Structure 1
Amino acid sequence: MTRIIAGRWGGRRLAVPPRGTRPTTDRVREAVFSRLDHGGHLRGARVLDLFAGSGALAFEALSRGASEATLVESDARAVSVLRANARDLAVGPDARVVKERVRPFLGRAAGPWDVVLLDPPYDIARDELAAVLEGVAEAVDADGIVVLEWSTRAGDAPWPSALEEVAAKAYGETTVRYAVPRAGGPDVSVGGGSVEA
């Protein structure tokens, strides 16, 4: 089990798929959402949660004031858990669960989204992640923000030219990277582009 940290559902527990996913730790989630909250990115936001797993990221965003979330996950067991968590929270139409692989979804999705959250498997091929991020660059709003959780050991993220990394913070095995569209991206107040230990 994992839990929602703050907002209208703060303290509520979420079921986690039995295997095949790596839920974001409370520590990392608190850090990510504190930054997003501080930057004013969540209130009324349209959120896209890719590789959604248990949905902890999207549900945390909704709990803290996002207006809607789309959760994309291809694993059938994880999708069942996502739908059960949405029912338990009585999210209603604010959350849409999509059972599909991320790249095909991005190829046909109707954005833009204000916040795009990605927590792909650590063993995802670098060229596959690069292709996903190309799709994300087209799906995020011009004033939006992209948050990527990826293995610290994997090195720099393969951002496309349309996205600019503005901050990164390492939490042991996980590094969280923040990027914005190069044309007129917001001041997210999260420091420089180098990884902080």
Structure 2
Amino acid sequence: MRIISGSHRGRQIIPDKNFTARPTTDFAKENIFNVLSNYINFEGISVLDLFSGTGSISYEFASRGANEIIAVELNYNHFAFIKRMSKELGFRNLKVYKTDMFMACQKLKGRKFDLIFADPPYNLPSIQQVPLSIFENDLLTENGIAVIEHPASVDYSALPYFYERRKYGSVNFSLFRKKAPGNSCEE
């Protein structure tokens, strides 16, 4: 796995052998970041990375100039790896919290993020609740984007704020926006 772009472009990230996370493939990550770059300028934004796993997505945002990144990871080994790697990479703007995603969303209620990325385990029983928790806790800025990575069997298209679905190989991303670009209408 590698950092695709920005100040640390090409840097290889090699997770510890005890990792159980399923990192987003470089192919899928590169494609979703290409899509996102058409919607948002990464420089100076605030990012919430839920189910951070290896931290790959957080490192990508930090490398591309995000001002603040909060990574949330419940697994201690993964949490410790992200902390160690962010220090090694010199990402002082990356904070890592060891907690449950749903609890983190409640604690962060009212905080606003320009971009929220969530990559829950595909077998998570409450996977349908992930985008709902983001919006119920009002975590996204008015023009922000939430991206949820999920298996093909999950369909978020009927949920409020669903914007579009992208598929790269076996990886699916659903994008959510409070306000569609160019749409001045109220909800």
TM-score (norm 2): 0.88
Structure 1 residue 160: Cα displacement: 4.2
Structure 1 residue 158: Cα displacement: 7.1
Residues 1:104 and 2:103 are matched in the alignment: yes
1:39-50 equivalence runs, <5 A: 39-50=39-50
User: Corresponding residue for 2:166?
Assistant: 169
Structure 1 residue 142: Cα displacement: 1.4
**1 CA distance for matches of 2:141 and 2:61?**
17
1:29-178 equivalence runs, <5 A: 29-92=29-92, 94-110=93-109, 111-125=111-125, 128-137=126-135, 138-152=138-152, 154-157=153-156, 160-161=159-160, 164-178=161-175
**1 CA distance for matches of 2:68 and 2:79?**
18
Structure 1 residue 155: Cα displacement: 3.2
Kept after mapping to 2: 8 A contact 1:71/1:97:
yes
From the superposition, tell whether residues 59 and 147 of structure 1 become closer, same or farther in structure 2 (CA, over 3 Å). same
Q: Which has the higher strand share?
A: 1
**1 CA distance for matches of 2:52 and 2:39?**
23
- Extract unaligned runs of 5+ from structure 1: 189-197
* 3-state DSSP of counterpart to 1:13: coil
**2 CA distance for matches of 1:67 and 1:34?**
19
- Extract unaligned runs of 5+ from structure 2: 183-187
Structure 1 residue 159: Cα displacement: 6.3
User: Corresponding residue for 1:11?
Assistant: 10
**2 CA distance for matches of 1:121 and 1:85?**
22
How high is the sequence identity, in percent, across the aligned residues?
26
* 3-state DSSP of counterpart to 2:36: helix
- Counting matched residue pairs gives 178
Structure 1 residue 177: Cα displacement: 1.2
CA RMSD of aligned residues (A): 1.7
**2 CA distance for matches of 1:146 and 1:37?**
13
Structure 1 residue 66: Cα displacement: 1.1
Q: Which has the higher helix share?
A: 1
Residues 1:180 and 2:177 are matched in the alignment: yes
* 3-state DSSP of counterpart to 2:127: helix
Structure 1 residue 38: Cα displacement: 2.0
From the superposition, tell whether residues 168 and 158 of structure 1 become closer, same or farther in structure 2 (CA, over 3 Å). closer
Structure 1 residue 65: Cα displacement: 1.9
**1 CA distance for matches of 2:19 and 2:55?**
14
**1 CA distance for matches of 2:41 and 2:165?**
17
TM-score (norm 1): 0.84
User: Corresponding residue for 1:194?
Assistant: none
From the superposition, tell whether residues 166 and 160 of structure 1 become closer, same or farther in structure 2 (CA, over 3 Å). closer
Kept after mapping to 2: 8 A contact 1:16/1:53:
no
**2 CA distance for matches of 1:166 and 1:60?**
23
